[in-house]
């Protein structure tokens, strides 16, 4: 059986694996980059949004300017809970970009090849090779032929259903099932997107409505809008049998999204994700590492999947170049420190129970306070924790004022959050020490 040897094998050539391969190849490593799909190809069951800090990190990979040319800039992101909008403006005149994966992944793969990585598509990893207790390569099938590829390190960048994670026995922790499902499609951008007073000055839009449904709009490449809806799983039965009609009915129930689809015709298929799971997985072990969704998958509602995949690819590249198991374990610990609070915030934000009077009060309070808006922008730029945007003293004052006006329910609701906070702190200590 034929066998080749490399410094690092990266399994998965998408938004985590391709940047990692680029950075390693530039550092002089011999890198094999494998993907089971024909390439280039789309990856539509995915978030598309890249926050401004993610585009900065893509500058380090060498593709930031291409992303800026291919997709429209989104310098203002609106989060709206009920009737309380919060418009997040990226610091320093930067912007987020929502680019379809057929474009993004191609750019990233081209960069990896240009850097010297050996990219091989339609190659399925069917097992890991081992030298005693260490992973030492992969067994892969391509064109009906089985081959062995050996390396000092095998990296799984192969998504939620990672073969590398499964074969390596990487343990999951803090896992839970998504309380929502989602459907989305691409629509031509109409005049309503830029001219409607309700959306004036907004470049991306996430709405959390009274019916507990999240609706979202992102402007993407080729003058298209990605328009989607994410209802609670409790709504799934009502959607069964005619997802197309239910999707349109849900968008028409909100005036802002109704204006974007009325008289319009979507391009391509309606896409959906009925079930998914969020988790951390062990990010490093003897002879292997995980990056991107293979090792960490969080609720996509805040839109940080691609951004943090690029971040972790950068950090993992440094650890691999530094060399040794200690550096890989340090990467694992750093990933958890960088991600823990956002993972918890995304869990809260995606929970249908997040749409409540207490968080409505928070949205209104943040929008009215420039200092808190600056803290929110810093958290979106990954400079601080999203859980620390509103100091507890501010929240307590807001609730106390409301209680004096007779809204005692908010005080009861604040007290009811104490057990959730205690559970979070226990999990933080258990994972981060």
Task: Give yes or no for residue 200 having a pLDDT over 90.
Answer: no
Q: Is 282 helix (H, G, I), strand (E, B) or coil?
A: coil
Contacts 24+ apart (CB under 8 A), 268-271: 268/185, 268/186, 269/185, 270/183, 270/184, 270/185, 270/243, 270/244, 271/44, 271/45, 271/183, 271/184, 271/185
Q: pTM for the whole thing?
A: 0.96
**Mean pLDDT over the full length of the chain:** 95
Task: Give yes or no for residue 92 having a pLDDT over 90.
Answer: no
Band of the pLDDT at 91, cuts 50, 70, 90? confident
As a whole number, mean pLDDT of residues 240-252 equals 95
Domain ranges across the chain: 3-74+94-176+277-347, 182-273, 356-432
Q: How far apart are CA 288 and CA 238, in angstroms?
A: 44
Residue 69: phi, psi to the nearest 5? -75, -30
Q: Which CATH architecture has domain 3-74+94-176+277-347?
A: 3-Layer(bba) Sandwich (3.50)
Residue 89: phi, psi to the nearest 5? -105, 125
Q: What is the pLDDT of residues 341-382, one digit of tens each?
A: 999 999 999 999 999 999 999 999 999 999 999 999 999 999
Q: What is the pLDDT of residues 257-282, one digit of tens each?
A: 999 999 999 999 999 999 999 999 99
Band of the pLDDT at 420, cuts 50, 70, 90? confident
């Amino acid at each position: 059986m034929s066998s080749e040897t490399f410094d690092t094998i990266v399994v998965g050539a998408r938004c985590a694996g391709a940047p990692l391969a680029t950075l390693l190849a530039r550092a002089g490593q011999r890198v094999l980059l494998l993907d089971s799909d024909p390439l280039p190809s789309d990856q539509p069951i995915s978030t598309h949004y890249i926050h401004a800090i993610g585009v900065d990190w893509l500058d380090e990979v060498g593709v930031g300017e291409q992303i800026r040319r291919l997709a429209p800039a989104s310098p203002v992101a609106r989060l709206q809970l009920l009737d309380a909008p919060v418009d997040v403006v990226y610091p320093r005149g930067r912007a987020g970009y929502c680019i379809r994966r057929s474009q993004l992944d191609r750019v990233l793969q081209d960069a990896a090849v240009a850097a010297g990585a050996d990219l091989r598509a339609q190659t399925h990893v069917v097992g890991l090779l081992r030298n005693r207790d260490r992973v030492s390569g992969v067994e892969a099938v391509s064109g009906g032929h089985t081959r062995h590829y050996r390396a000092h390190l095998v990296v799984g960048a192969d998504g939620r259903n990672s073969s590398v994670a499964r074969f390596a026995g990487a343990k999951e922790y803090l896992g839970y099932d998504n309380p929502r499902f989602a459907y989305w499609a691409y629509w031509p951008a109409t005049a309503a997107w830029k001219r409607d007073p309700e959306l004036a000055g907004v470049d991306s839009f996430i709405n959390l409505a009274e019916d507990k449904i999240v609706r979202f709009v992102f402007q993407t490449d080729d003058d298209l809008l990605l328009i989607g809806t994410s209802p609670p799983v409790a709504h799934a039965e009502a959607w069964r049998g005619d997802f197309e009609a239910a999707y349109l009915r849900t968008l028409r129930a909100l005036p802002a999204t109704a204006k974007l689809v009325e008289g319009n015709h979507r391009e391509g298929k309606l896409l959906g994700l009925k079930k998914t799971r969020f988790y951390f997985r062990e990010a490093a072990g003897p002879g292997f590492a995980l990056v991107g969704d293979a090792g960490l998958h969080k609720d996509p509602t805040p839109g940080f999947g691609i951004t943090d995949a690029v971040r972790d690819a950068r950090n993992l590249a440094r650890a691999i170049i530094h060399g040794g198991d200690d550096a890989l374990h340090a990467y694992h610990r750093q990933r958890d420190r960088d991600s823990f609070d956002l993972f918890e915030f995304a869990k809260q934000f995606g929970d249908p129970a997040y749409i409540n009077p207490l968080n409505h009060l928070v949205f209104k309070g943040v929008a009215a306070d420039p200092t808190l808006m600056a803290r929110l922008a810093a958290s979106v730029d990954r400079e601080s924790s999203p859980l620390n945007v509103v100091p507890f003293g501010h929240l307590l004052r807001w609730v106390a004022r409301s209680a004096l006006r007779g809204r005692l329910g908010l005080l009861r609701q604040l007290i009811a959050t104490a057990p959730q906070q205690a559970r979070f702190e226990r999990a933080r200590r258990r994972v981060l020490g």
